[in-house]
């Protein structure tokens, strides 16, 4: 190990003469790279880092920063490198500190039906009449305070309409552990539940009753949160009353962030057509709310003769817009994309008040700092990555074409009359196409990585739908919100519904086109990192090295094309097993597990088949004792459902998945019966490793677990 480390250091020193001049050339853009380094450090800890190390990493960051300060007059390149190292270590330390600080208890096994009580902090209605409640727990009869989760999420089949956020309720429910990833490297609900303070999911089995005998009084934070939720639900109820189906769910999602009422077919059409970003309360929505109010207030102040000299109209309008943005952030649920958008809007309007340029890459970097300092784990979320990728691409792209726009504006042929009208119309259409193209290209790698899907017609759908969203849907919706307290919102919401009709029509038309959603198999993380590095260099560097960026892009393509695909997938309970056959497709050896996991595996494999497609099990042979199928290469994989079949499976199969414990005597027989002992996957193996994937290697089958080896992370079972 020491020799290998020495070799790595030697290689790094050989490359340093090439890196040093590049760092010196980018001196004036240091501020843009610091949040990138901070995010890399946070991501390294959250993805692979050991437990603890918060103080050590922060201390090393301080040392690196101190050395950088001392060396600032000695060498620009050394200062640049040391500051980046300090930022990386700071990101590592901040992520470790937040992880250690939370320590939110999470249950690891089913808690049988019992009584529990707590404060309702959120009520999310669904289109089927059910609801999802978030409960801040005060007591659970079957758990002591040491093992009791702070928050739980409950599915309520028939919610009591009288219940409101802030009520202290008592109910009977069964609790389940928050599930882990369905496959190694997949989306991990348990990770995000930990950072949201949610320790269990559950299902309510009785009617909830209001309990006035709470052991603890509600905090100020809970009261504020409950009040905001009451407002969101009241607005959702009013919109549903005015619009009804099918528009109410779409309008509620855009104005309050509650997506449970949205029609499933509409949601799928939006995602397939590349319009799914409309549902995320992000920069577009914030810009319409804040920008619209800014220009309205500024215009009204300009109409007041005395106000032109007494009031700084631009600054006053910026203050009003900033307050409106904060209100909309709270109303929409404050998701990561919303936080990023609000921070960007806030920085922009603060710059307007101070008389500074509003939209710059430095402001984007500052917004990233604010979001990551509050929630370092955000760097691993698809929303954070796609949101900042789109914003950086748009700002950098428009800065690059700004000289061309100024030349067109300065041309005498476009200053008056028809020429001016043509210039305005042309720039508007070009802006729509440019925005859709830049944002689409910037977010496409992240969409392919996280959602295994690419929308090739996204440019078409965005060019057609976004003007309707920007000039009809959102302005009418915001006007409806403003008029709602006076009962005058009907006309505005009706206009919004007409716009939603047009958007839905575009989404369904594009989604119905051949090849509207191209499935993409799982990418290696290294491929996404190479593409991200190339994109960051292209947009953030003053003089990006073309050969280096091209090499990163080529490396990403090679990694994607040569990515290893699992030959066997087993979920964490052993209830769902998939085997890759000679055709390269997955065959489901046992197809009775989680429907969500089945769909997830097909999506991650880039498979277009539906979850109920008969071909998913056509090569599987089953009897009363179990099932078996042959994977690519002819080897047999068996699922034993009865102890009587274990010995036979040991003689024939190379992989055996069983829910029964394998005794030492049977294990020895299995080893003697074959030249290569069968790999037996038992319940205790899955408890320890989580969902697993088997890969074929030169030495046989290799296991990749979804849980890391060594000390468990707090969000692991």
Q: What is the DSSP string of 58-113?
A: HHHHHHHHHHHHHTTTT-HHHHHHHHHHHHHHHHHHHHHHHHHHH------S-EEE
pLDDT at 662 over 80: no
pLDDT at 9 over 50: no
pLDDT at 81 over 80: no
Q: 603-660, pLDDT tens digit by residue?
A: 999 888 887 888 888 888 888 788 888 888 888 888 887 777 777 777 788 888 887 6
CA–CA gap between residue 280 and residue 268 (Å, rounded): 14
**Residue range 301-315: mean pLDDT, rounded:** 69
Q: What are phi and psi of 41, to 5 degrees?
A: -65, -45
Provide the mean pLDDT of the chain: 81
Q: What are phi and psi of 204, to 5 degrees?
A: -75, 135
pLDDT at 310 over 90: no
The confidence score (pLDDT) of residue 548 equals 86
- Residue, of 212 and 24, whose pLDDT is higher: 212
| Residue pair 588/577 in contact by the 8 Å Cβ criterion | yes
CA 566-570-573 angle, to 5 degrees, is 160
Q: DSSP of 399-462, one letter per residue? A: HHHHHHHHHHHH-GGGSSHHHHHHHHHHHHHHHHHHHHHHHHHHHHHHHHHHHSEE-TTHHHHH
**Residue range 29-34: mean pLDDT, rounded:** 81
Q: DSSP of 611-655, one letter per residue? A: TT-GGGGTT-EEETTEEEEE-TTS-EEEEE-SGGGHHHHHHH-SE
The confidence score (pLDDT) of residue 449 equals 92
Q: What is the CA radius of gyration of the chain?
A: 28
Give 717's pLDDT tier (boundaries 50, 70, 90). low
Q: What is the DSSP-derived secondary structure letter of residue 130? A: -
Q: What are phi and psi of 543, to 5 degrees?
A: -130, 80
**Residue range 359-371: mean pLDDT, rounded:** 83
CA–CA gap between residue 385 and residue 402 (Å, rounded): 26
Q: 465-506, pLDDT tens digit by residue?
A: 888 988 899 889 989 988 998 888 889 999 999 999 999 999
Give Cα separations from 560 to 242, 536, 702 (angstroms): 49, 19, 20
pLDDT at 55 over 90: no
The confidence score (pLDDT) of residue 96 equals 85
The confidence score (pLDDT) of residue 74 equals 65
CA–CA gap between residue 645 and residue 654 (Å, rounded): 14
**Residue range 248-271: mean pLDDT, rounded:** 88
Q: What is the DSSP-derived secondary structure letter of residue 713? A: P
Q: 416-437, pLDDT tens digit by residue?
A: 555 666 666 666 677 778 888 8
- pTM, to two decimals: 0.84
Give 507's pLDDT tier (boundaries 50, 70, 90). very high
Give 82's pLDDT tier (boundaries 50, 70, 90). confident
**Residue range 690-702: mean pLDDT, rounded:** 86
The confidence score (pLDDT) of residue 280 equals 76
Percent of the chain with pLDDT over 90: 17
Element (H, E) at 47: helix 30-48
CA–CA gap between residue 232 and residue 288 (Å, rounded): 19
The confidence score (pLDDT) of residue 73 equals 64
Find, among 41, 39, 33, 79, the residue nearest to 57 by Cα.
Answer: 41
Q: Which neighbouring-strand residues pair with 175?
A: 111, 202
CA–CA gap between residue 453 and residue 97 (Å, rounded): 35
The confidence score (pLDDT) of residue 214 equals 72
Residue indicated by tokens 């409806």: 480
Of 7-16, 431-440, 631-640, 675-684, minimum mean pLDDT range: 7-16
Find, among 201, 199, 112, the residue nearest to 717 by Cα.
Answer: 199
Give 4's pLDDT tier (boundaries 50, 70, 90). very low
Residue 173: partners with Cβ closer than 8 Å, 6 or more residues away = 113, 114, 116, 154, 202, 203, 204, 205, 206
pLDDT at 18 over 50: no
| Residue pair 109/94 in contact by the 8 Å Cβ criterion | no
**Residue range 325-350: mean pLDDT, rounded:** 79
The confidence score (pLDDT) of residue 154 equals 94
pLDDT at 204 over 90: yes
CA–CA gap between residue 658 and residue 681 (Å, rounded): 6
Record the tokens describing residue 126, joined without a space: 């669904």
Q: 163-201, pLDDT tens digit by residue?
A: 889 899 999 999 999 988 989 888 999 999 999 889 999
The confidence score (pLDDT) of residue 435 equals 81
The confidence score (pLDDT) of residue 1 equals 40
Q: Which neighbouring-strand residues pair with 131?
A: 125, 156
Give 336's pLDDT tier (boundaries 50, 70, 90). low
Q: DSSP of 656-681, one letter per residue? A: EEESSPPPHHHHHHHHHTSSS--EEE
Record the tokens describing residue 536, joined without a space: 């960051």
- Residue, of 307 and 81, whose pLDDT is higher: 81
């Amino acid at each position: 190990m020491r020799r290998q480390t020495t070799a790595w250091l030697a290689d790094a020193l050989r490359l340093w003469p090439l890196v040093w001049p590049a760092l010196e050339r980018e001196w004036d853009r240091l501020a843009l790279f610091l949040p990138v380094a901070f995010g890399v450090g946070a991501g390294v800890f959250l993805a692979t880092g050991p437990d603890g190390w918060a103080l050590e990493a922060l201390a090393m960051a301080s040392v690196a920063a101190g050395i950088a300060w001392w060396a600032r007059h000695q060498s620009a390149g050394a200062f640049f490198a040391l500051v980046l190292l300090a930022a990386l270590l700071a990101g590592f330390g901040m992520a470790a500190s937040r992880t250690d600080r939370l320590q939110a208890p999470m249950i690891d096994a089913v808690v049988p039906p019992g009584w529990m009580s707590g404060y309702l902090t959120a009520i999310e209605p669904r289109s089927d009449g059910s609801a999802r409640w978030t409960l801040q727990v005060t007591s659970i009869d079957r758990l002591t305070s040491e093992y009791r989760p702070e928050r739980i999420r409950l599915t309520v089949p028939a919610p009591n309409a009288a219940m409101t956020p802030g009520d202290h309720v008592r109910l009977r429910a069964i609790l389940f552990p928050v599930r882990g990833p369905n496959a190694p490297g997949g989306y991990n609900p348990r990770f995000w539940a930990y950072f949201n303070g949610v320790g269990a999911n559950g299902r309510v089995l009785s009617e909830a009753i209001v309990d006035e005998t709470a052991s603890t009084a509600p905090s100020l934070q809970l009261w504020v949160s409950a009040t905001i939720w009451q407002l969101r639900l009241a607005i959702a109820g009013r919109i549903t009353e005015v619009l009804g189906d099918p528009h109410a769910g779409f309008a509620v999602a855009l104005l309050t962030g509650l997506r449970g009422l949205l029609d499933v077919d509409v949601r799928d059409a939006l995602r397939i057509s590349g319009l799914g970003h409309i549902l995320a309360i992000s920069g577009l929505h914030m810009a319409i709310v804040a920008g619209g109010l800014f220009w309205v207030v500024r215009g009204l102040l300009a109409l007041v003769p005395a106000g032109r000299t007494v009031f700084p109209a631009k600054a006053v309008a910026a203050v009003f817009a900033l307050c409106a943005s904060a209100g909309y952030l709270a109303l929409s649920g404050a998701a990561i994309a919303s936080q990023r958008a609000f921070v960007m809007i806030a920085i922009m309007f603060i710059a307007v008040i101070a008389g500074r340029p509003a939209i710059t890459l430095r402001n984007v970097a500052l917004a990233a700092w604010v979001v990551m300092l509050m929630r370092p784990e955000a760097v691993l979320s698809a929303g954070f990555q796609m949101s900042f990728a789109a914003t950086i691409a748009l700002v950098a792209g428009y800065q690059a074409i700004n000289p061309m726009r100024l030349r067109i504006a300065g041309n005498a042929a476009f200053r008056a009359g028809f020429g001016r009208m043509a210039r305005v119309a042309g720039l508007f259409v070009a802006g729509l196409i440019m925005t859709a193209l830049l944002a689409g290209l910037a977010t496409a790698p992240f969409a392919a990585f996280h959602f295994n899907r690419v929308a090739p017609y996204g440019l078409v759908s965005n060019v057609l739908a976004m003007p309707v969203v920007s000039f009809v849907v959102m302005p009418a919706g915001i006007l409806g919100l403003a008029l709602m307290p006076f009962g005058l919102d009907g006309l505005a919401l009706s206009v919004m519904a007409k716009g939603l009709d047009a958007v839905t029509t575009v989404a369904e038309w594009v989604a119905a086109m051949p090849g509207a959603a191209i499935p993409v198999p799982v990418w290696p993380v290294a491929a996404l990192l190479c593409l991200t590095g190339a994109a960051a260099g292209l947009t953030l560097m003053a003089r990006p090295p073309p050969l280096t960026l091209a090499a990163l892009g080529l490396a990403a393509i090679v990694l994607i094309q040569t990515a290893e695909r699992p030959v066997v997938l087993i979920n964490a309970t052993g209830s769902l097993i998939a085997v890759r056959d000679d055709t390269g497709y997955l065959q489901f050896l046992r197809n009775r597990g989680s429907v969500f996991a089945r769909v997830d595996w097909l999506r991650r494999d880039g498979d277009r088949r539906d979850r109920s497609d008969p071909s998913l099990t056509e090569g599987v042979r089953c009897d009363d004792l179990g099932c078996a199928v042959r994977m690519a290469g002819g080897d047999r994989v068996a699922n034993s459902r009865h102890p009587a079949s274990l010995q036979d499976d040991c003689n024939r199969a190379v992989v055996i998945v069983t829910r029964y414990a394998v005794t030492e005597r049977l294990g020895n027989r299995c080893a003697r019966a074959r030249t290569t002992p069968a790999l037996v996957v038992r319940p205790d193996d899955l408890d320890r490793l989580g969902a697993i994937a088997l890969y074929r290697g030169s030495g046989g089958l290799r296991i990749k677990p979804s849980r890391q080896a060594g000390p468990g992370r707090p969000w692991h079972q």
